[in-house]
Structure 1
């Protein structure tokens, strides 16, 4: 009984080698398209679709390299170039029959953009400088920081520690409403000065999630500063009232 196990098996080396040669050539050629596409789209990565009569080609690229080139045609969905695995030789042959049409579609896309910016007006209006606004903001914030640093030094001497906070509620007319340190008070906005080593860490209005008038990061907007700066004297007054009240209470202590 003959089983056929001795029959010669056909080799696939030639087909695989030719497939690899074609993929390498396409990768190099499509890589040039990818680099031109990246220049056109203005980024290091992206993808674009190109329609032909036989189907759709999708080119995805990153940092000038082809991530994949896919052909989606009638009855065929082939990754001609991929970082995963090479295509089947038959599927590759089907896609490559339409490759010239893909390149033609890309070229037509580029030609369609010729002159598209010719009528764009580049005579732009003058930009209003922000120098005066920034200078005034820095002047106001500088005066605030000078005052809060003075308060921080007094608090460090008074409390005998290296860091702490002072908070008070200040009404919109600048008056204080409950100046006890750390108290919530009633009415008005909550102002909080956090200090460390006799210097201002931050000055915040509105509690957690509020507006930082002074901080180690960025300054407030001009609108936020305009809204809260008029009430800053009320915060300083609340501090002075607090210190005066504490001093009077200490004077009543008999030893």
Structure 2
């Protein structure tokens, strides 16, 4: 008997020394937040539930509240009585399932009014509760792209208002930027121009899943090689024409002088 008592105290002591003993109820939403949802598509949130061997899940509840806090209070979305598959939802586009230690919330036909902070609360058979939260926002298209110049650093900076997951790319004279033109920063927002002279058209395009928008910065006009060659040819032709005209005038003058000299010699011989 003394041995049983001793062993019982030892087990109890070990349970007390454990971080959460055999009662370790927890829940977390495995989606990386914030979650952005394209309007009209489906929102899917998955929650992972952890509990000890002596615990049983008695209820799982999904709720939503505004992110800004302007309209206080939570809106109940669905509840599940423990591991039962018969989850009940408060709206027709809401569907919740329970599988082993995971609960999945799906909302079809997502709209902006369904953005906010989502919460899942798990309750065990002893009344202990654990809650996890996740921010959900609407996926926004790209808006108001602009390009500004930093003269001191010879760089162009591309900005965008509030689009979700914006991707930046640069064009120079409608072609992809090369090393001869400049270097693009890792995030794509800045183009460091290394070409000289700083001239031509630089276009920044911002895109995401819903479309794209662009803006162009126009520097001083570039002097192309073709125009320089044409100017050189024109100058050469003008020089030839001027030289030919000058040579013709000198030739006419020389011929006129020779005729006058011959006429004078003829008159002297006659006299």
TM-score (structure 2 length as normaliser): 0.16
1 or 2 for the larger relative contact order (CA 8 Å, sep ≥6)? 2
Whichever structure has more helix as a proportion of its residues is: 1
Q: Which has the larger radius of gyration?
A: 2
TM-score (structure 1 length as normaliser): 0.17
Whichever structure has more strand as a proportion of its residues is: 2
